[in-house]
C-alpha cells in the first residue's frame, strides 16, 4: 500500500478527460491494491491526481500520438522543451502544424502538445483564441512537461487495445480505472463511438480477478450491460460551454465490481483504509 498524496498535475486537455470527476473517482479507488492500470489513458487526469496510486502503475492508450507524447515527456523532457521553444501562439503556425506533424518523435510530441494546447476546447481542430483573456504561457507548458516527466518516472507506458492489455496485467490485487469512449459521442481518432466494442469490454471486465472502476455516459445500453455490477450516478458540467451551467449538466455512471457505500452523500469504497502522508514519505 502506498501513501496517497495529492499531485494535482496535468499535461494536456483531452476530449473526455476526467478533470472534473477526478476527486469523485479518487474516493472510489481501493487502497489495498498493488497495481493501478489505466487502459484508456487519454490525458491521464486521474493518474496525475495523486503522486502515486500503487507500486506498479500503467498508462495505456491505443492512440500512438498520445503514447508518443507521454514517452517523450518521460524520457526526453529537455529535448521536448527545446523543440517547444520554436512554437509560437500564431494562427498561421497552428494551421501549418496541423498539416505537418513532424518527422522525429520529439517533433511529433511537441507539435501534438502545441496543437492540443492552442486549440479550441483542446480538440486539436480549430485555433483557439479568447477575446477576453490572455493566452496560455509557453513557460507554463514547459513547466508542466517537467512536472509530468518526474511523475511518469516509474509508470509503464503501453500502446495496446484495452481488451488485450487488461488480461495481461490482471491479478487479485490489480485495479483498473477504465474510461472508455462514451456509448454516444464523437469518438476518437482510433475509434468512432459507433465502432467501439462496448460488449467486448464488459466481457473482458466480467472475467477479471482484480477490481475495476468504469466511467461511462448514463445510457440505457450501458445500464443494461452492467446490471450485475454496482452502479453509481454522478454528474458534471458539460465540457466547453460552462456559462449556461443549468442546462449543461451531464449525467455519468461510475460502475465497479466491489463494495461501495454512501457516507453523508459521498460515495466511497467500503471499509477502505488508506493512509495519507507527506509527499516526502511517498
Ligand X SMILES: C[S@@+](CC[C@H](N)C(=O)[O-])C[C@H]1O[C@@H](n2cnc3c(N)ncnc32)[C@H](O)[C@@H]1O
Binding site for ligand X (CB under 6 A): 14, 16-18, 39-40, 42-46, 61-63, 161-162, 179-181, 188, 190-191, 196
CA distance 14 to 45: 9
Name which of 14 and 36 has its Cβ closer to ligand X: 14
CA gyration radius, the chain = 19
Name the minimum Å distance from CB 154 to ligand X: 20
* H or E segment to which residue 174 belongs: strand 174-178
Name the minimum Å distance from CB 125 to ligand X: 15
Work out the angle between the directed axes of helices 138-151 and 77-84 (0-180°, nearest 10): 170
Name which of 30 and 39 has its Cβ closer to ligand X: 39
Name which of 85 and 186 has its Cβ closer to ligand X: 186
Name which of 81 and 162 has its Cβ closer to ligand X: 162
| Whether 5 contacts 48, CB under 8 Å | no
Half-sphere exposure (Cβ direction) of 218: Cα atoms closer than 13 Å: 12
Name which of 55 and 164 has its Cβ closer to ligand X: 164
111: nearest Cα among 79, 69, 63, 145? 69
Name which of 93 and 187 has its Cβ closer to ligand X: 187
Name the minimum Å distance from CB 45 to ligand X: 3
Sequence-distant (≥ 6) Cβ neighbours of residue 100 within 8 angstroms: 111
Name the minimum Å distance from CB 90 to ligand X: 27
Name the minimum Å distance from CB 199 to ligand X: 13
CA distance 246 to 221: 26
Name the minimum Å distance from CB 48 to ligand X: 9
CA distance 37 to 174: 8
Q: Which residue number has the CB closest to ligand X?
A: 42
Compute the CA torsion angle 88, 92, 94, 96 (nearest 10 deg). Answer: -120
Name which of 17 and 30 has its Cβ closer to ligand X: 17
| Whether 29 contacts 217, CB under 8 Å | no
Task: Name beta bridge partners: 174.
Answer: 35
Name the minimum Å distance from CB 108 to ligand X: 16
Name which of 40 and 169 has its Cβ closer to ligand X: 40
Sequence-distant (≥ 6) Cβ neighbours of residue 205 within 8 angstroms: 166, 176, 178, 212, 214, 257
Name the minimum Å distance from CB 40 to ligand X: 4
Amino acid at each position: 500500500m502506498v501513501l496517497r498524496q495529492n499531485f494535482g498535475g496535468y499535461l494536456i486537455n483531452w476530449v473526455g478527460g476526467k478533470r472534473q470527476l477526478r476527486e469523485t473517482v479518487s474516493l472510489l479507488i481501493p487502497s489495498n491494491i498493488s497495481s493501478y492500470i489505466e487502459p484508456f489513458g487519454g490525458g491521464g487526469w486521474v493518474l496525475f491526481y495523486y503522486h502515486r496510486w500503487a507500486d506498479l502503475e500503467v498508462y495505456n492508450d491505443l492512440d500512438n500520438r498520445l503514447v508518443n507524447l507521454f514517452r517523450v515527456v518521460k524520457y526526453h523532457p529537455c529535448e521536448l522543451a527545446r523543440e517547444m521553444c520554436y512554437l509560437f501562439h500564431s494562427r498561421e503556425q497552428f494551421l501549418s502544424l496541423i498539416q505537418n506533424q513532424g518527422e522525429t518523435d520529439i517533433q511529433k510530441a511537441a507539435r501534438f502538445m502545441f496543437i492540443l494546447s492552442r486549440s479550441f476546447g483542446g480538440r486539436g481542430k480549430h485555433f483557439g483564441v479568447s477575446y477576453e483573456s490572455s493566452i496560455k504561457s509557453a513557460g507554463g507548458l514547459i513547466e508542466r512537461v517537467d512536472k509530468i516527466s518526474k511523475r511518469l518516472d516509474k509508470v509503464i507506458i503501453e500502446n495496446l487495445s484495452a481488451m488485450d492489455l487488461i488480461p495481461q496485467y490482471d491479478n487479485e490485487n490489480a485495479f483498473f480505472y477504465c474510461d472508455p469512449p462514451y456509448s454516444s459521442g464523437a469518438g476518437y481518432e482510433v475509434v468512432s463511438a459507433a465502432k467501439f466494442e462496448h460488449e467486448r469490454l464488459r466481457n473482458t471486465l466480467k472475467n477479471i480477478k482484480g477490481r475495476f472502476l468504469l466511467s461511462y455516459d448514463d445510457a440505457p445500453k450501458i445500464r443494461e450491460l452492467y446490471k450485475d455490477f454496482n452502479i453509481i450516478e454522478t454528474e458534471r458540467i458539460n465540457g466547453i460551454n460552462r456559462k449556461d451551467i443549468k442546462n449543461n449538466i451531464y449525467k455519468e455512471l461510475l460502475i465497479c465490481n466491489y463494495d461501495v457505500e454512501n457516507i453523508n452523500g459521498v460515495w466511497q469504497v467500503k471499509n477502505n483504509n488508506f493512509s495519507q502522508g507527506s509527499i516526502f514519505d511517498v
